Amino acid sequence: MRTGRFLIKRLIYIIFVFFIISILMFAIYKSLPGDPVRMMMQGNIKPEVYQQQYEITRKQLGLDQPVPVQYVKWITNMLRGDFGYSTEYRRQVKEVIGVPMRNTVLLNLFSMIIVFLIAIPLGIATAVKKNSIFDKLVQVVTIIGYSVPSFVIALLAIYVFAIQLPIFPISGVKTAGFTGTGIAAVLDMAKHMALPVLVMSVGGIGSITRYVRASMIDALRMDYIKTARSKGLREKVVIYVHAFRNALIPIVTVTTWWLIGLFGGSIVIESIFLWDGLGKMMISGLNQRDFAVVLAMQMFYVILSLTGNVLMDIAYTLVDPRVKLEN
């Protein structure tokens, strides 16, 4: 019953925040300089027909109407699954956003898996071996990992793994002219994904490792850990069952916000490696004043953030039964 009330309250909260942010985002992009119709009509058009075509195109796109009316039509259509018309690609947004979204999700998914597989065991190990040479070495490496900007790590990775040791391609999603299918296509895409995933994982491994270490050190100081050890429980049981579970709440918080930020941060990485994802499309959309595409992607990030908040609250109750979904 409490869970049901909580979810209803959170749903109302999400809907309210979603509409407030959508109004702000729409107003911001509408206030930016530049005319998407003029960007769309660049080319050899006779002066005598230019203005006529300009007015017709504005009317077809609904840009001749007042901004509040444009917003109502945009948000209504978006809720129906119609994200508008792309002035850059000359197609419906939902037709051009599918492949880039898939590429961005794949990039972030593999980065997330690598970070979790490395950072969580590494954080636990450094907490257990606190102040050892291993711990100090890992601390230095992780500080460097999350302190150095991602574009610097990207340039370094390109220099080492694409120029000095030509193991991986520098850019793109697949090899130019490649027509293979099946396993060959997967392996080709994996080679192109390697460097972006590596660069995106470095910062995440650094920050998550340090948070896991700090949470585990606090947990290992608690009296219940001493009690568990005095009962003769195996050290692995003490560490992974008792200490790690109680250290999970701060880890869940940090991890959730890191995952949300990961999608936004991939914009820079996608631009550097020319990865055909949402980030590259967003920058292109801003340059071309293709606001339908940009707004669709911005609202995707908004929904991702709001959903992440709810999932974080639910995760609290899963890792710690003392936490109740009451607010």
- Between CA 37 and CA 165 the distance in angstroms is 46
> Is residue 128 in some structural domain?
yes
Integer Cα distance of 113 and 74 in angstroms: 36
Query: Do residues 131 and 85 share a domain?
Result: no
Domain identity same for 33 and 116 = no
- Residue the block writes with tokens 């590494």: 122
Residues 211 and 221 reside in one and the same domain: yes
Does the pLDDT value for residue 277 go beyond 80? yes
pLDDT of 168 higher than 80: yes
- Asked whether residue 265 is domain-assigned, the answer is yes
- Specify whether 197 is located in the same domain as 80: no
User: Do residues 104 and 199 share a domain?
Assistant: yes
pLDDT band, very low/low/confident/very high, at 20 (cuts 50, 70, 90): very high
Domain presence at residue 292: yes
- Whether the CA torsion 171, 172, 177, 182 is positive or negative: it is positive
Q: Total structural domains in the chain?
A: 2
HSE toward the beta carbon, residue 64, CA cutoff 13 A:
8
- For residue 155, give every residue at least 6 positions away whose Cβ sits within 8 Å of its Cβ, in sequence order, or none: 272
**Is 326 a domain residue?**
no
Residue 204 lies in a domain: yes
The span from the CA of 104 to the CA of 197, in Å, is 11
**For residue 43, is it left (φ>0), alpha (ψ between -120 and 50) or beta?**
left
185 shares its domain with 258:
yes
Candidate from 29-33, 192-196, 199-203 with smallest mean pLDDT: 29-33
Residue 11 CA to residue 307 CA, distance in Å, equals 10
User: Per-residue pLDDT tens for 91-106?
Assistant: 888 888 888 888 888 8
Name the domain boundary from 96, 112, 140: 96
Q: Specify whether 126 is located in the same domain as 259.
A: yes
Region 43-49: mean pLDDT is 70
Whether residue 148 is found in the same domain as residue 283: yes
Q: Say which CATH number the domain at 210 has.
A: 1.10.3720.10
CA distances for 182 relative to 8, 178, 193, angstroms: 44, 12, 17
Would you state the structure tokens that stand for residue 194, as one six-digit string?
């390697």
- pTM to 2 decimals? 0.77
Q: Running DSSP on this structure, what letter comes out for residue 118?
A: H
Mark out the alpha helices in 82-182 (DSSP H runs). 93-96, 98-128, 133-147, 150-158
Domain end (from 96, 113, 135): 96
Collect all residues with Cβ–Cβ distance below 8 Å to 300 and sequence separation of at least 6.
Answer: 101, 278
Average pLDDT over residues 61-87: 87
Last residue of a domain, one of 55, 72, 96: 96
Residue 324 lies in a domain: no
Q: What's the pLDDT at 326?
A: 55
Question: Per-residue confidence at 23, pLDDT binned at 50, 70, 90?
Answer: very high
3-state secondary structure of 158: helix
**Are residues 103 and 87 part of one domain?**
no
Q: Where are the beta strands (DSSP E) in the chain?
A: 85-86, 91-92
Displacement of CA 26 from its chain's centroid (Å): 21
Do both 22 and 153 map to the same domain?
no
pLDDT for the residue numbered 1: 54
Do 90 and 235 sit in the same domain of this protein?
no
Q: Are residues 126 and 232 in the same domain?
A: yes
Give the range of the structural domain holding residue 13, as residue numbers without chain letter. 2-96
* Residue 304 CA, distance from chain mean position: 8
Query: Does any domain span residue 248?
Result: yes
* Phi, psi dihedral angles at 232 (to 5 degrees): 85, 20
Whether residue 327 lies inside any domain: the answer is no
Check residue 137 and give its pLDDT: 93
Q: Distance from first CA to last CA of the chain, Å, rounded?
A: 13
Average pLDDT over residues 249-254: 74
